[in-house]
Amino acid sequence: MNVLTMLTSLLPYIIIVLPLNNAKIDRLSSLEVKEAKYSDLGDHTMVTDSEIFPYVAAILRRSTYISAGALIDENWVLTAADSLFLTRESLKSLRVRLGSINYKKGGILLPIKLFNIHPYFDDQRPVFDIALLMLPKSVRFIPTLRAIRLQKTSRVVAATHYLVTSWFSALNQNQSKPNHLESMDSIIRRRILSVSHLHPSDPDECADELTSLEVNRTDVVMCLDPGIKTDSCGRDTGAPVVLNGVLMGIVSSWKPADCSEQAPAPSFVTLISAGDVISWIHATVHGHRWSNKKNTHFNL
């Protein structure tokens, strides 16, 4: 077969590749390719690139990590309320690290100007476990530090899994004493951001869980099945729960009092799109007095 005949026979299978402009190439290489590395995850896979999850914040009490959070604009971070509930008298000890996958270093470290806990928060139940932290100044967005969009309206989402990002917290573990034999490698790993794919629980089973806890606002909470390696008393407190680049909720720190005697239970997630949540966020961020009148028309 001569060359011309061979090329003619291959014509139906030849794909013409048009050149991409620089902007498209940048988007493909810096976003899609990087995110693809985390498309098949186990529990708490270590993150190696700060540009993948630029919205994740580490909430610290002095230098100790207490919870994760999500940057929602240049001035505000959303996190769980429970980790701040007993901190009202020590606001000066709180810090937020942004733009780094290591909560001990990198990015920027800022004090907290103020924080606001949702008025309906109940530390005895996994409901409205959400708080806003105000930064002392507006941050400048860069590739490793960006805000995340919020899910503002309630809708049925057919998701098989959500991306959950946080750091390991010793405060979540069922330990009465620190582990002095912990290896340096383990200590270093705890300081690095991790990401998990967590699956939504069956809605009926989630409703039963909430009913057993005397929670009647099932529209505000979603349940996520525990990961394979989940500790019975461990929670990814304040962790952003993300679907397709949109913040769907924040993981609650709530766990049963007898968690060490039980199998791992679902994690509870405060849903951003719930009327009494998104309206409170909007009012707080814009300096308005919040009322529980539902409003879904926001500019945040």
Residue 2 placed within a domain = no
Q: Are residues 153 and 269 in the same domain?
A: yes
Give the residue among 294, 300, 230, 239 at the shortest CA–CA distance from 262: 230
75: pLDDT confidence band, cut at 50, 70 and 90? very high
Q: Domain total for the chain?
A: 2
27-36, 239-248, 280-289, range with the lowest pLDDT: 27-36
Residue 132's domain comprises: 56-147+277-285
15-19, 63-67, 81-85, range with the lowest pLDDT: 15-19
Using the predicted structure, report yes or no on whether residue 137 has a pLDDT greater than 90: yes
Token reading at 143? 């590739």
Residue 139 placed within a domain = yes
Q: Are residues 162 and 68 in the same domain?
A: no
| Residue 262 · residue 255 · CB < 8 Å | no
Give the mean pLDDT of 255-278: 84
Residue 192 placed within a domain = yes
Using the predicted structure, report yes or no on whether residue 129 has a pLDDT greater than 60: yes
3-class DSSP state of 66: strand
Residue 123 placed within a domain = yes
Exposed e or buried b per residue across 193-213, where buried means at least 16 C-beta atoms within 10 angstroms of its C-beta: bbbbbbebbeeeebeebbeeb
Q: Are residues 172 and 261 in the same domain?
A: yes
Output the domain CATH number for residue 128.
2.40.10.10
Indicate yes or no: pTM above 0.75: yes
Radius of gyration of the chain (CA): 22
Q: How far apart are CA 74 and CA 64, in angstroms?
A: 24
Q: Are residues 104 and 193 in the same domain?
A: no
Residue 44 placed within a domain = no
Give the residue among 103, 107, 238 at the shortest CA–CA distance from 165: 238
pLDDT digits (tens, 9 = 90+) for 207-257: 998 998 888 888 899 999 886 556 667 778 999 999 999 999 999 988 777
Q: What strand order describes the sheet that includes 94-98? A: 108-111, 94-98, 56-61, 64-71, 76-79, 131-134, 114-117
pLDDT digits (tens, 9 = 90+) for 167-218: 986 544 444 445 555 677 777 778 999 998 899 999 899 999 899 888 888 8
35: pLDDT confidence band, cut at 50, 70 and 90? low
8-12, 151-155, 185-189, 212-216, range with the lowest pLDDT: 8-12
1: pLDDT confidence band, cut at 50, 70 and 90? low
Give the mean pLDDT of 133-143: 97
